[in-house]
Amino acid sequence: MHYDDTDRRAGLARRPPLSLLATPPALEVALGILLVNGAVVLWLLLLGRGVLPDGVPLQWWSGSTLTADNSQHLADFYSALHAISGAALYFAARAICPEWPLRRRFIMVIACSGVWEVVENTPAVIALFNDPGSLNVYRGDSIVNALSDTAFVAFGFLAAHSLPRWLIIATGALAEFTVALIIHDGFVLGTARVVLR
């Protein structure tokens, strides 16, 4: 006789094993965000990145890409690109994992953002972002900026979930055009610069 049959005849209800899948949704999201961002912070600390900008006070907004504190503050022109990528990752996650609940797709997108922050701050990629003959002002993100970048990815994800697709696409195209016009960078120009180098 099978063990389950014995339990059923004895009137015993078997309890499901404890697992992450049984975690309450809010706790699952919180743990996912904490684990990803904790790993990113640890990586950046190992690379010698500072928590705050070096030598200048932390700012809410930094519009210059020609100073040593480029990508060191809470928000900058690249924040818009992170929001665009969050929206794009929302659509990608929905297409790849349509059966997953929204919270798991959200955690997956946050993990993708974390992987990017790790890769972006390696010496090889930092050198790639600095054009030959340029001022070489990009030295990697501060930890605050890296966490802020992930927050903008999360914002883009949630906006793509809540707003009409046409509005997200139009806003993303406008943001890309604006960033390209003002700081001569963005997804299209940055990719072309790297490929054609």
Per residue in 3-25, pLDDT tens? 444 444 454 445 444 444 556 88
- The DSSP 8-state label assigned to residue 184 in this structure reads S
pLDDT at 79 over 60: yes
Question: Sign of the CA dihedral 146, 147, 153, 155?
Answer: negative
Phi and psi based region of residue 76 (left: phi greater than 0; alpha: psi -120 to 50; beta: remaining): beta
* pLDDT of the residue at 134: 54
Q: Nearest-CA neighbor of 75 among 1, 153, 159, 145?
A: 145
Note the pTM of the prediction, 2 decimals: 0.83
Q: Mutual orientation of helices 25-46 and 143-162 as an angle, nearest 10°?
A: 150
Please tell me the distance from the alpha carbon of residue 64 to that of residue 184, in angstroms, as a whole number: 12
Greatest pairwise CA separation for the chain in angstroms: 79
| pLDDT one-digit tens code per residue, 46-77 | 988 889 988 889 999 988 777 778 888 999 99
* pLDDT of the residue at 89: 97
